[in-house]
Amino acid sequence: MLTVKQIKNDEEVKVLIKTSEKQIDALAYTEHSVRHASIVSTWTGMILKETGQSAKLVRLGEIAGYLHDIGNSLARYDHAGSGAILVYNILKRLGMNYSDAAEIMMAIGNHDEINGVPVSVLSSALIIADKSDVHKSRVRHKVLDKNTNIHDRVNLAVNRSYVNVDKENLRIDTVIETDDTICSVADYFEIYHHRMIMCSKAAELMGYKYGLIINGTRLL
Ligand SMILES: [Fe+2]
Ligand SMILES: [Fe+2]
Q: Looking at the predicted structure, is the pLDDT value of residue 148 above 90?
A: no
- Positions of E strands within the chain: 158-166, 171-178, 209-214, 217-218
**Strand 158-166 vs strand 171-178: parallel, antiparallel, or unpaired?**
antiparallel
Phi-psi region of 170 (alpha: psi -120 to 50; beta: other; left: phi over 0): left
In this prediction, residue 180 carries a pLDDT of 87
Q: Looking at the predicted structure, is the pLDDT value of residue 157 above 90?
A: yes
pLDDT digits (tens, 9 = 90+) for 42-71: 999 999 999 999 999 999 999 999 999 999
CATH number, domain containing residue 54: 1.10.3210.10
pLDDT digits (tens, 9 = 90+) for 67-100: 999 999 999 999 999 999 999 999 999 999 999 9
Expressed in angstroms and rounded, the spacing between residue 45 Cα and the centre of ligand 2 is 15
Domain range enclosing 161? 4-218
Expressed in angstroms and rounded, the spacing between residue 70 Cα and the centre of ligand 1 is 8
Give residues whose Cβ lies within 5 Å of ion ligand 2.
Answer: 69, 130
Question: What is the arrangement of strands in the sheet containing 171-178, beginning at the earlier edge strand?
Answer: 158-166, 171-178, 209-214, 217-218
Q: Please, what is the end-to-end C-alpha distance for the chain in angstroms?
A: 39
Count CB-CB contacts under 10 A for residue 27: 11
Expressed in angstroms and rounded, the spacing between residue 21 Cα and the centre of ligand 2 is 12
Q: How far is 212 from 177, CA to CA, in rounded Å?
A: 11
Domain count, the chain: 1
In this prediction, residue 187 carries a pLDDT of 87
Expressed in angstroms and rounded, the spacing between residue 68 Cα and the centre of ligand 2 is 6
Overall size of the chain counted in residues: 220
Give the predicted TM-score (pTM) of the model. 0.97
